[in-house]
A and B are shown apart, each in its own frame.
Chain A
Amino acid sequence: MDYILSVEKLSRVYKSGSRELTVLNDINFDIQQQETVSIVGPSGSGKTTLLGLCAGLDSPTRGTVSLMGQQINGLSEDERALLRNKHIGFIFQNFQLIPTLTAIENVMIPLELQGSKQAKSKAKGLLDRVGLKDRMTHYPNQLSGGEQQRVSIARAFCNDPSILFADEPTGNLDEDTGLSIEQFLFDLNAERGTTLIIVTHDLELANKTNRIIKLKGGKVVADEKSLIQAQV
């Protein structure tokens, strides 16, 4: 079976002074193409840490992460950057738009990095898709939180990623705005077949995904089909 993401015996230990803090302890799971997965768990359980490792932003203390069949532990930072640029999209709780670039410029970055000629038209299309046609040349601080998050969704889908990581994408937004953001995420997932991995506290959101991985104290305590999936 080909998995888009495989995590094997993954551990992450932080050293602060002489004390060691094991944040993730022997994590294992595999995720298939086009799956939507949510990672839930109490605060401090290691969700963000796990996401960072899976996306190749951080290096594990032990164990391996494989993305699209390629082990990423052995890769250099720049090789992982290339991988991220080609195959991965990101959405953050605090949006992480570049304040000095306009909305459309923010969206274009991943494609421009690849040297693509269609960056502009594609970015326009995506911003249109998330309903920000008229705000393209606005700077992030001229946009509301929900608008900023829509820009970052457009940016995340711009390079047609195989897998998209979102760390509490609706955490900073009110319920209605949060819902519309979720809608965009799932619609785009359906349209493009992107694998979705969402870290969230929001159980309703979690229940909209196919699969829920529960973390507690750095360990996977449950890994099950979600309610919707179970019903099907």
Chain B
Amino acid sequence: MANLSFLFKTAIRDSRKDLNKLFMFMSSIILGIAALVAINSFNYNLVKDIDSQAASLLGADLAITGNKPLGEKLTPVLDSLQAETAEELEIFSMAYIAKTDASQFVMIKAMEGGFPFYGKIKTDPEQAYLDYQDKPHALVDHSLMLEHDLQVGDSIKLGIRSFYISGRLKSAFGSIAASTSFAPGIYIGKPFIEETKLIQPGSMVNYAYYYKLSDPTSAEQWKDDHRESFRNESLRIQTVEGQKENLDEAFSSLNNFLNLIALVSLLLGCIGVASSVLIYIKNKVPSIAVFRCLGMKSGQAFSIYLIQILGLGIVSVLIGATIGSLIQIYLPVILKDFLPYEVVMDLSWKAILEGVLVGLVMTMLFALAPLVSIRNISPLRTLRTSDDEVTKRDYLKLSIYGLIIVGIFLFLLRLTSEISSAAIFTIGLLAAFLVLYLVSLFIMWAVKRFFPSSWSFVFRQGLANLYRPNNQTQTLLVSIGLGTAILTTLFIIQGLILTNVDSMDAGNQPNMVLYGIEKNQADRLTTITEDYDMPVIQQAPIVTMRVAGWKGKTKEEWLSDTTRVARRWAINREARVSYRDYLESDEKLLRGEFVGEVNPGDSIFISLDEGYAESLSVDLGDEIVWNVQGTLITTFVSSIREIEFRSMRTRFFILFPKGVLENAPQFLVFITKSPDSETTAKYRSAVVKAFPNISVVDLGMILSTLNDILTKVSYIVKFMAGFSILTGLIVLISSLLLSKFQRIKESVLLRTIGASRMQILKINATEYALLGGLAAATGILISLVASYFLSTRQFELEFDLNPLPILFIFLFVTGLTVFIGLLNSREVIQKSPLEVLRKEM
């Protein structure tokens, strides 16, 4: 017992004077944990944020839609939901505008309830949306008002009822609205739709019921439970999850990236911990030998330093977690004016706890590795500083290395939730470590072997420092190299992601889709479009058809087959098929061969989207029979494509070759981009005037939501990467600062013997330049390999490299190393040798 208190006392006494040497140890942990906690909570907040963004696309957690109202059977089912509700009736009709004595085809939405529950309806004046449902007021589409020169305060007649225009509709809610609307929208309160007398038996009305659940996460389960009974009533259930899938590709990259940063911060912290403890213990060897000489057992000596490291480690972890939490609370406040959007940051206890736990375990394992070698320090060192201590195989040390690998693997497993990814990452990290270690061995061997003995004294000294006993070649090469590798990888990946986000730039996406164009109208339409200086971005023929059978059985046979795996939606959907003899730039051939054209009478080879093929459970070579408006056409799957979600183009799951469908009944889809809403309005009326059959859909609202999300994504990527890069730099700098203690005695001795300041500086500069240059070069090479694999495998981005920043990183790391190396010798140069020796002893 007395013994334990002695160990504690000694641990504290011994650390008193050496806290400065443990500063780096502490700062590595603090920064690493702070980053981990901040990133984790950022991540959680982001997920929440994206959830609510996706929710604002739908406007609710759950939506039931269909072309008839909820029947008696289903109403009780929905009434049992714990939810806030809203209802919508949608009807297409002509509106009469007295001001211009014009009629306009419009989409009327009669609303009841606080929809949208998520997101906002933007009107001008802003508060117009607050009370429009209670009075005979209408919110009218902005472009329609422009077109007819309407002002707020004017009136518009729907059916037999006149409405006061109380607001200009700037952006509406809900993808349902946007995606089905090819006529400008008008919103009124639901009670007033009766008075319009527009709803007559046989008129086409769409009904929607929106729910904001008290437990939003239950939506998906609810959908699964009730899908069948709703389908039987021809009603569709929509959830946020379904909306999110569209954006998934963009977000999975972001999520991967945040995970990468979390990993990077942790690893940087661990590198800092390992190298600082290693150097600290090296400094302690003489003291430990004396302790041993005086009769301290090896376990006791180990305990003293374990107590120190553990104590400071825990304190640092707590400080780090606090700083991380403060960052997540205060950063948005500080940055409020600079942020392009409003961030709501909640303190995430889960993130904090996770950070503390992971941080404590990992940093302690990394600290333990150098710490256990204390057990093997011989008391004989008091009599003689010998380096050739017989290094027995230390099984404890080996098992700690094993635990470190397991720890990293588990951490990665939690991040990626894939055993194979976690394993590949772990092996990659080990390989990087090994490469750096081997390079350091090679350098020591090579410098010794090919020593340039004809060089001047200072260069020879600087070079010889690389392999002499007590050299820091291995420690610094590995820590600087790994640090550089990790940071450069991060830097490259960040660049790739930002480029990708830019390429998805919603502002430059096509924002108008024209449906229902007949073949002979295409040329005129092109001319009209070009008259408005708008580009024809896509023009594709669409033939609608249905699956009649596949793999030798008819659709009916399949539907009654209980072993069927094909999904019902894939079987029943009315397929919108296009035909062409090339692949678009956002399509990627995954398997098989794309057949662009077939001759009459030949077998017909089609190309399917990967997901669609999966849902229909068909693969290359399988036969599919289509019912093209009464005619059966037999086809074979010859290729499987992946269609990237990069642009707003129409995506065709099923693609026929040229030479088959040319004479089938078809219409064209046209995609273009309008510069502003005024042009949109004018263009739309020009098109509708010329071809009343054509529907013009404005995607502007969806795009502006998407744009918001992408702005956030790129902002978060930049911010988090910046944070992590800062952590890395501080770890690099402090690991270099620590190396001061290694060379100080030698430098002082040289000074004592009579070396000039300049000579000392040159000796150190040579050593550090070589170390820094080599470590940076090796690290960058590793990062190139790593980021190539990361970008192509994990992030599914195209690998592309800008050599200039890479060169800059090389120069920067090398320069930094030399600079700090020289900074380290500052004391030797400025003070008297005696003073320095006494102080650093």
Chain A contacts to B: CB under 8 angstroms: 16, 48, 51-52, 55, 57-58, 77-78, 81-86, 88, 90, 92, 96-102, 105, 109-110, 112-113, 115-117, 139-141, 155, 159, 167
Stretch in contact with the other chain, from B55-63, B115-123, B376-384, B616-624: B376-384
CA distance A139 to B14 in the complex (A): 11
CA distance A49 to B378 in the complex (A): 14
Known: A112-B9, A115-B2. A57 touches B290 (CB 8 A): no
B window 1-31: CB within 8 A of A: 1-3, 6, 9-10, 13-18
CA distance A86 to B291 in the complex (A): 14
Contact check, B295 vs A141: say whether CB atoms are below 8 A apart.
Answer: no
7 closest cross-chain pairs (CB), A and B:
A85-B295, A115-B2, A84-B295, A112-B6, A78-B297, A100-B17, A57-B380
Known: A101-B14, A115-B3. A92 touches B294 (CB 8 A): no
CB distance from B835 to the nearest CB of A (A): 10
Residues of chain B contacted by A97 (CB below 8 angstroms): 290
CA distance A86 to B297 in the complex (A): 12
CA distance A58 to B378 in the complex (A): 8
Contact check, B297 vs A139: say whether CB atoms are below 8 A apart.
Answer: no
CA distance A23 to B98 in the complex (A): 117
| B130 within 8 Å of A (CB atoms) | no
Contact check, A98 vs B287: say whether CB atoms are below 8 A apart.
Answer: yes
CB distance from B645 to the nearest CB of A (A): 61
CB distance from B487 to the nearest CB of A (A): 34
Known: A84-B295, A100-B13, A113-B295. A141 touches B839 (CB 8 A): yes
| B176 within 8 Å of A (CB atoms) | no
Contact check, B296 vs A85: say whether CB atoms are below 8 A apart.
Answer: yes
| B298 within 8 Å of A (CB atoms) | yes
CA distance A84 to B290 in the complex (A): 12
Contact check, B294 vs A90: say whether CB atoms are below 8 A apart.
Answer: yes
B window 758-794: CB within 8 A of A: none
Contact check, A90 vs B299: say whether CB atoms are below 8 A apart.
Answer: no
CB distance from A46 to the nearest CB of B (A): 12
Which residue of chain A is the closest to B295 with respect to CB atoms?
A: A85
CB distance from A224 to the nearest CB of B (A): 26
Known: A52-B383, A99-B841. A57 touches B293 (CB 8 A): yes
| B300 within 8 Å of A (CB atoms) | yes
Which residue of chain A is the closest to B287 with respect to CB atoms?
A: A98
Residues of chain A contacted by B9 (CB below 8 angstroms): 112
Contact check, A90 vs B17: say whether CB atoms are below 8 A apart.
Answer: no
CB distance from A22 to the nearest CB of B (A): 17
Residues of chain A contacted by B573 (CB below 8 angstroms): none
| B73 within 8 Å of A (CB atoms) | no
Contact check, B293 vs A84: say whether CB atoms are below 8 A apart.
Answer: yes
Which residue of chain B is the closest to A109 with respect to CB atoms?
A: B294
Task: Pick from A16, A48, A96: contact of B290, CB below 8 A.
Answer: A96
Contact check, B286 vs A96: say whether CB atoms are below 8 A apart.
Answer: yes
Contact check, A58 vs B297: say whether CB atoms are below 8 A apart.
Answer: no
Residues of chain A contacted by B393 (CB below 8 angstroms): none
CA distance A83 to B296 in the complex (A): 10
Contact check, B300 vs A113: say whether CB atoms are below 8 A apart.
Answer: yes
Contact check, B298 vs A77: say whether CB atoms are below 8 A apart.
Answer: yes
Which residue of chain B is the closest to A106 with respect to CB atoms?
A: B290
Specify which of B293, B295, B298, B384 lies most central, judged by the most chain A CB atoms within 10 Å of its CB.
Answer: B295
CB distance from A196 to the nearest CB of B (A): 17
Which residue of chain B is the closest to A86 with respect to CB atoms?
A: B295
Contact check, A84 vs B18: say whether CB atoms are below 8 A apart.
Answer: no
Residues of chain A contacted by B841 (CB below 8 angstroms): 99, 140-141
| B142 within 8 Å of A (CB atoms) | no
Contact check, A113 vs B6: say whether CB atoms are below 8 A apart.
Answer: yes
Besides A58-B378, A96-B290, A139-B17, 10 new A-B residue pairs in contact (Cβ under 8 A), listed by A number: A58-B380, A90-B293, A96-B293, A97-B290, A100-B13, A105-B13, A109-B294, A110-B295, A115-B6, A116-B2
Contact check, B290 vs A98: say whether CB atoms are below 8 A apart.
Answer: yes
Contact check, B13 vs A109: say whether CB atoms are below 8 A apart.
Answer: no
CA distance A177 to B545 in the complex (A): 109
5 pairs, A vs B, C-beta closer than 8 Å: A58-B380, A81-B379, A100-B18, A100-B287, A101-B14
Which residue of chain B is the closest to A155 with respect to CB atoms?
A: B294
B window 293-349: CB within 8 A of A: 293-300
Residues of chain B contacted by A90 (CB below 8 angstroms): 293-294, 382
Task: Pick from B15, B294, B382: contact of A110, CB below 8 A.
Answer: B294
Chain B contacts to A: CB under 8 angstroms: 1-3, 6, 9-10, 13-18, 286-287, 289-300, 378-380, 382-384, 388, 838-839, 841
Residues of chain B contacted by A155 (CB below 8 angstroms): 294
Residues of chain B contacted by A141 (CB below 8 angstroms): 838-839, 841
CA distance A13 to B100 in the complex (A): 114
Residues of chain A contacted by B18 (CB below 8 angstroms): 100
Contact check, A48 vs B298: say whether CB atoms are below 8 A apart.
Answer: no
Residues of chain A contacted by B3 (CB below 8 angstroms): 113, 115
Contact check, B295 vs A57: say whether CB atoms are below 8 A apart.
Answer: no
CA distance A96 to B288 in the complex (A): 10
Residues of chain A contacted by B298 (CB below 8 angstroms): 77-78, 81
Residues of chain A contacted by B300 (CB below 8 angstroms): 113
CA distance A65 to B379 in the complex (A): 17
Residues of chain B contacted by A112 (CB below 8 angstroms): 6, 9-10
CA distance A110 to B384 in the complex (A): 21
Contact check, B379 vs A57: say whether CB atoms are below 8 A apart.
Answer: yes
Known: A78-B299, A81-B296, A113-B295. A52 touches B380 (CB 8 A): yes
Which residue of chain A is the closest to B839 with respect to CB atoms?
A: A141
CB distance from B381 to the nearest CB of A (A): 9
Contact check, A113 vs B839: say whether CB atoms are below 8 A apart.
Answer: no
Residues of chain A contacted by B14 (CB below 8 angstroms): 98, 100-101
Contact check, A57 vs B838: say whether CB atoms are below 8 A apart.
Answer: no
CB distance from B3 to the nearest CB of A (A): 5
Contact check, A82 vs B297: say whether CB atoms are below 8 A apart.
Answer: yes
Residues of chain B contacted by A77 (CB below 8 angstroms): 298
CB distance from A125 to the nearest CB of B (A): 18
Known: A100-B17, A113-B295, A141-B839. A51 touches B383 (CB 8 A): yes
Which residue of chain A is the closest to B284 with respect to CB atoms?
A: A100
Which residue of chain B is the closest to A140 with respect to CB atoms?
A: B841
Contact check, B287 vs A57: say whether CB atoms are below 8 A apart.
Answer: no
Known: A52-B383, A57-B383, A141-B839. A81 touches B287 (CB 8 A): no
CA distance A187 to B299 in the complex (A): 36
Which residue of chain A is the closest to B375 with respect to CB atoms?
A: A77
Residues of chain B contacted by A159 (CB below 8 angstroms): 295
CB distance from A137 to the nearest CB of B (A): 11
Residues of chain A contacted by B388 (CB below 8 angstroms): 16
Residues of chain B contacted by A52 (CB below 8 angstroms): 380, 383-384
Specify which of B18, B292, B379, B388 lies most central, judged by the most chain A CB atoms within 10 Å of its CB.
Answer: B379
Residues of chain A contacted by B296 (CB below 8 angstroms): 81, 85, 109, 113
CB distance from B285 to the nearest CB of A (A): 12
Residues of chain B contacted by A140 (CB below 8 angstroms): 841
CA distance A155 to B9 in the complex (A): 18
CA distance A77 to B375 in the complex (A): 10
Specify which of A51, A77, A100 lies most central, judged by the most chain B CB atoms within 10 Å of its CB.
Answer: A100
Residues of chain B contacted by A139 (CB below 8 angstroms): 17
CA distance A58 to B299 in the complex (A): 18
Residues of chain A contacted by B293 (CB below 8 angstroms): 55, 57, 84, 90, 96
CA distance A102 to B16 in the complex (A): 11
Residues of chain A contacted by B838 (CB below 8 angstroms): 141
CA distance A141 to B378 in the complex (A): 24
CB distance from B298 to the nearest CB of A (A): 6
Contact check, A99 vs B287: say whether CB atoms are below 8 A apart.
Answer: yes
CB distance from A106 to the nearest CB of B (A): 9
Which residue of chain A is the closest to B381 with respect to CB atoms?
A: A57
CA distance A97 to B841 in the complex (A): 11
CA distance A107 to B300 in the complex (A): 18
CA distance A84 to B295 in the complex (A): 5
CA distance A82 to B295 in the complex (A): 5
Known: A78-B299, A84-B293, A141-B838. A92 touches B383 (CB 8 A): yes
CB distance from B297 to the nearest CB of A (A): 4
Specify which of A58, A85, A112 lies most central, judged by the most chain B CB atoms within 10 Å of its CB.
Answer: A112
